[in-house]
Amino acid sequence: MTDAVDDDLYARTKALLEPGDIQLNGLIVHTTFGSDEEPTLHQLTLAVGDVIADHAGVDPSDTYVYSGNDDPDFGVNQHQGRTLDGDDFVWECQQLVRDGTYDVVFYYEASADQAGVLDDVEALDYDLDVVSVEG
């Protein structure tokens, strides 16, 4: 992965966090997963979502993943973690193939403990490079 690609992805992620209805922070999770490892990518997405929920004060078992396959407002490989009661936003991610492997961009409310999210995602049992992006 080149620095220019990293810089571009960081800048695009930062733009997603621009002020809107809620203040957001994010993570860029660089993986070594190719398209033949989509089940592992799925498990990683769920694990990171659980970490984010936990640090946002939401019990991960009280969330579900909405993929929006039939929703025209969602893109392919775009997913949201939502609460079971109330369908509230907890996190969102986009899975991007860059240089043959997946990078996953997560964003979530800035009230979540960013340092804790970063530490716990880095501690997951995957070969990852994780970049914190604060809104």
Tell me how far apart the alpha carbons of residues 122 and 18 are, in angstroms, rounded to a whole number.
25
Nearest to 103 by CA among 81, 126, 129, 124: 129
- pLDDT score, position 1: 41
Tens-digit pLDDT profile for residues 42-91: 999 999 999 999 999 999 999 999 987 767 777 678 899 999 998 899 99
Angle at 30 between CA 101 and CA 15, to 5 degrees: 110
- pLDDT score, position 8: 73
Tens-digit pLDDT profile for residues 4-26: 457 777 676 666 666 667 889 99
Tell me the domain boundaries of the chain.
3-130
Q: CATH classification of 3-130 is 3.30.1380, yes or no?
A: no
Average pLDDT over residues 39-44: 95
- pLDDT score, position 73: 73
